[in-house]
Structure formats: C-alpha cells, structure tokens
C-alpha cells in the first residue's frame, strides 16, 4: 500500500503542478460553452418544466469536464512516460498491476472531480441548477471519472505516439461525449437517434448525474447506474489484464 500511495501522490502532483493548464483551462472552456450556448438557445429550447435551458446546461458541462479530464489525466501520463523513457523506473519497482491501476485511475478521479467542482462553482453563478439528490451526483461523478480514467489507461497502454492517442480521443471519446445529451435532451431527437443515444454509455453517466440536480431524467437513474457500473467493471477487467501482462510497456 505504501507504493500505491506514493504513485498516486506522484500522479496527483503531476497534474497539480501545472494546474493552470489542467484545471483552470477546462473551467474557462466550460464557461465559454455556457455563455455561447446559453445566450443563443435560452429562449429557443425548453427541456424540463420550470427549468431554464442555461440551468439545464450546467450539470451537462460539469460532467463533460469531469469525463474529458479524467481520460486526459491517465492517458497523457502513460504516453508521456513511454515516449520520454522514464516508465522504466516504474517497471523496476515491485508495484503490482493493481497498484498501477488504482494509482492511475485514482489520480484521474481526483483531477476529474477537481475540474468538475471548479466548473460547477463558476457556471452555477450564472444559473444555479439546485440540488435534489446529492448522493446521485456524487455517485455518477465518481463512477464516470473512474470509467474515463480506466479508458484513458487503456488508451495510454495501446498508443505508442501522441497522434495515436489524439486519434482515440478525437474519434472515440469526443464524439461519445458530445452526443450524450450534454447540450440537449434526447427526447428532442427523432426516434432513430434516440435509439442510437441509448447505445452510448456516456449518455447514462450524464443523465444520471443530471437527475441529482433536477430529480428528472430521460431514463431511470437506476438503469443508468447499472449500465455505468457494468461498463466500469468491463473496462477495469481489461485494463488490469493489460497491466498484468505488461501490454506494450515491457517490450
């Protein structure tokens, strides 16, 4: 456990030392999204009764920031270590694959929650969404950050150069995030695209997270919790297996 805590501390310190880039920049990006979309669509889009579009947008932006930064933390750390050659110093330690997994995913959850908290504190000033079920908010924030941190770990193990990691992020993570209901309710979509949205696990993370603020959601939060939990278990199983066999890090 000492080794696990040390690696976790190292990974948290890695992003905190450049917090202007890893924390402040994502918060600014979310505020710009809120100002642009909220100003343009406030009087044209109505999602839930008695809830303004700007207030509806705030939880989506918070969760989007949590997911994107959790993925970026573990994936960027691994690819940088592989390319710079300092990953060998971790391989020389007696750390188990479980220690690697908990340290990288744990630091990703920490970064995601820090960025998400910053986004919420700033954006809620424009349109406070209210809090109905804080436990649901915390559960989906932690599970979502853990799932994206795990996916970032898998992507970092797979990628051998920065453009491969960028392709994974631009063609997989970004589309699934933006098409998950951050800026809209899926009930506003045609039937076909509603069905497609239900195949996206990111939709359930954001929808369940939003339920904690409004007590309303497009699907049952219990269904969302089940799907997110299954997705996290599957991704974690794969990530731990890849770490155990040393996939692309021991040769």
The string of pLDDT tens digits covering residues 192-225 is 888 888 899 999 999 999 999 988 888 999 999 9
Strands (E) located in 41-191: none
Listing DSSP states for 164-184 in one string gives HHHHHIIIIIHHHHHTSSSSS
Question: Given its phi and psi angles, is residue 127 left (phi above 0), alpha (psi -120 to 50 degrees) or beta?
Answer: beta
**Domain limits of the chain?**
2-245
Is 70 in contact with 152 (CB distance < 8 Å)?
yes
Q: Please tell me the distance from the alpha carbon of residue 70 to that of residue 80, in angstroms, as a whole number.
A: 16
So what's the pLDDT on residue 195? 84
CA angle at 217 for the pair 231 and 125, rounded to the nearest 5°: 105
210 within 8 A of 194, measured Cβ to Cβ: no
Task: Please state the pTM of the whole predicted model.
Answer: 0.92
What is the distance between the alpha carbons of residues 118 and 122, in angstroms, rounded to a whole number?
6
Convert the pLDDT of each residue in 119-136 to its tens digit: 999 988 888 778 889 999
For residues 63, 68, 71, 77, the Cα torsion angle rounded to the nearest 10 degrees is -130
């Amino acid at each position: 456990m000492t080794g696990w805590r040390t690696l976790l501390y190292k990974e948290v310190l890695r992003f905190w030392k450049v917090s202007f880039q890893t924390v402040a920049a994502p918060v600014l990006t979310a505020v710009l999204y809120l100002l642009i979309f909220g100003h343009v669509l406030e009087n044209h889009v109505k999602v839930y009764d008695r809830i303004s579009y700007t207030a509806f947008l705030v939880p989506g932006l918070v969760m989007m920031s949590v997911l994107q930064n959790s993925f970026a933390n573990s994936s960027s750390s691994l690819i940088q270590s592989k390319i710079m050659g300092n990953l060998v110093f971790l391989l020389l330690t007696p750390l188990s694959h479980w220690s690697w997994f908990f340290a990288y995913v744990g630091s990703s959850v920490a970064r995601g929650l820090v960025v998400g908290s910053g986004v919420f504190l700033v954006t809620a000033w424009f349109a406070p969404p209210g809090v109905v079920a804080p436990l649901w908010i915390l559960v989906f924030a932690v599970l979502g950050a853990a799932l994206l941190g795990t996916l970032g770990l898998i992507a970092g193990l797979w990628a051998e150069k920065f453009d491969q990691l960028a392709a994974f992020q631009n063609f997989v993570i970004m589309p699934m995030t933006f098409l998950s209901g951050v800026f809209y309710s899926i009930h506003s979509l045609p039937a076909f695209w509603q069905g497609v949205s239900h195949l996206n696990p990111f939709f359930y993370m954001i929808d369940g997270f939003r339920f904690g603020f409004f007590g309303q959601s497009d699907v049952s939060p219990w269904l969302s919790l089940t799907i997110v939990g299954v997705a996290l278990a599957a991704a974690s199983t794969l990530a731990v297996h890849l770490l155990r066999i040393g996939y692309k890090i021991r040769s």
